[in-house]
Amino acid sequence: MSKLIDLNNPVRRLAAWTLDYLVIAGYLVVLTAVSIGILASGLHKLFASAWSSALTAEVMGFVLLTLPVVLYFAFCEASSSNATLGKRALGLRVLQNNGDRLGLRRSLLRSALKFLPWELAHFSIWQFVYGSSSRSHRTIYDRIAGTRVS
């Protein structure tokens, strides 16, 4: 007997993702407001030379954006509710395959793997923005692959 496809679950997961994205967007609004405040106050001049490299930009982006988002998912999904705010609102939970509660270590791994492509995209963007001033104009993937565009 074939299993029926539960179309309700993908819709609920998409709705939960949307709610979680709104939480992340709220965090980005706060982060942007703080950044604008720093720019307006003139404090950014103290850090101007430190922000001129791709590595520094990547590290700061990771610490201020990616890491908090990964931790939001990891800690929420490892909590007693086993769900982020979006999943909780839609009645979804993240469990181990055997139905047991998700531990923090497994939740951190799950979240890190989920956001790895996002972080790699940020890394590439910072390399393009700050790394393109080099004479070779090679992206990080060109450098790793030993290629160039002529």
Q: Is the pLDDT assigned to residue 146 strictly greater than 70?
A: yes
Using CA atoms, how far apart are residues 9 and 83, in angstroms rounded to an integer? 15
Given a contact cutoff of 8 angstroms between Cβ atoms, the answer to whether 92 and 12 are in contact is: yes
Q: Is the pLDDT assigned to residue 88 strictly greater than 60?
A: yes
Secondary structure tally for the chain: helices H, strands E:
7, 0
Specify the DSSP class assigned to residue 52. G
Domain that holds residue 128: 8-145
Mean of the pLDDT values across residues 11-34? 94
Structure tokens at 98: 């055997």
Q: Please state at what angle helix 67-78 crosses helix 8-41, rounded to 10 degrees.
A: 140
Residues 118, 56, 31, 132, CA torsion sign: negative
- Give percent of the chain above pLDDT 90: 44
Mean of the pLDDT values across residues 26-44? 82
- Give the pLDDT score at 1: 44
Would residue 150 count as lying in a domain?
no
Would residue 114 count as lying in a domain?
yes
Would residue 2 count as lying in a domain?
no
Specify the DSSP class assigned to residue 64. I
Task: Count structural domains, the chain.
Answer: 1
Using CA atoms, how far apart are residues 148 and 37, in angstroms rounded to an integer? 40
Would residue 3 count as lying in a domain?
no
Of 123, 18, 110, 124, residue with least CA distance to 60: 123
Given a contact cutoff of 8 angstroms between Cβ atoms, the answer to whether 73 and 114 are in contact is: yes
